[in-house]
Amino acid sequence: MRVKDKVVVVTGGASGIGRAMATRFVKEGARQVVISDINEQGLNAVAESIGARAIAADVSNESDVLDLIRTTESDYGQIDLLCNNAGIGIGGGPEVPNEAWEKIWQINVMAHVYATRAALPAMLARGDGYIVNTASAAGLLSQIGSAPYAVTKHAAVGYAEWLAITYGGRGIKVSVLCPQAVRTAMTAGNEGGVASVDGMMEPEELCDAVIEALGQETFLILPHKEVLTYIQRKTGDYDRWIGGMQRLQDRYTS
């Protein structure tokens, strides 16, 4: 897919990766970029600065997501590219309160379900559409120090895989974005953390990988190329990989 002349929706567009992708899509000549975020003030500022449309929404609320999709379709016609990008991080393990588990599950996973539930019927009716779900390298590997993040990002990857398998033969393209550390509000103060073992990437740099993947219509978007090697090592010898991750954990938590 080329973004030029397309209608694009990006959630989590007020900052970080979402803002960078929306900005890049505008530069690539998209006919209309619609950005959404719960941070209405930040959302409006970004929309004004790049010439996008702002529609405030809490992606953990299905009615908000449905309104985002329906308003976009009503005002601009078909949605060519849907980027489910909004996400949060929560540290900890089994002791994390149920409310926090539920919150991260709703935003990192169910928001993808809500958006595709709303947008897929029109895409399937015309036999064309592209969905990019932002997950993380943690969804392919794991996240030391955060069970909720690792679990929900694994689920996000699994959902994207299912979409690609189920609807690929009906004209729907699917990609999943799985970076390591990117310089955003989520990673602020963690420049030396485990996720940045291969360096901290700027959001604008990540967008190069997104545009390239869209052009080639590849499923995995890996801005940090090292991740592919890590996946291969994991699947090649799971026990050895677990041992290596245990040593990595000791290095960063001792």
pTM of the model: 0.93
Blockwise average pLDDT, block size 10, the chain, 254 residues: 98 96 98 98 98 98 98 98 97 97 98 98 98 97 95 98 98 97 67 62 94 98 95 97 94 76
So what's the pLDDT on residue 10?
98
So what's the pLDDT on residue 241?
96
Which are the catalytic amino acids? 149
> In the chain, what are the domain boundaries?
7-227
Q: CB count, 10 Å around CB of 29?
A: 11
So what's the pLDDT on residue 254?
64
Q: Do residues 89 and 149 touch, judged by C-beta distance below 8 A?
A: yes
Q: Which CATH class is domain 7-227?
A: alpha beta
So what's the pLDDT on residue 27?
98
So what's the pLDDT on residue 113?
98
So what's the pLDDT on residue 140?
98
So what's the pLDDT on residue 187?
59
Alpha carbon distance 127, 251 (integer Å): 49
So what's the pLDDT on residue 76?
98
Alpha carbon distance 149, 229 (integer Å): 22
Q: CB count, 10 Å around CB of 246?
A: 11
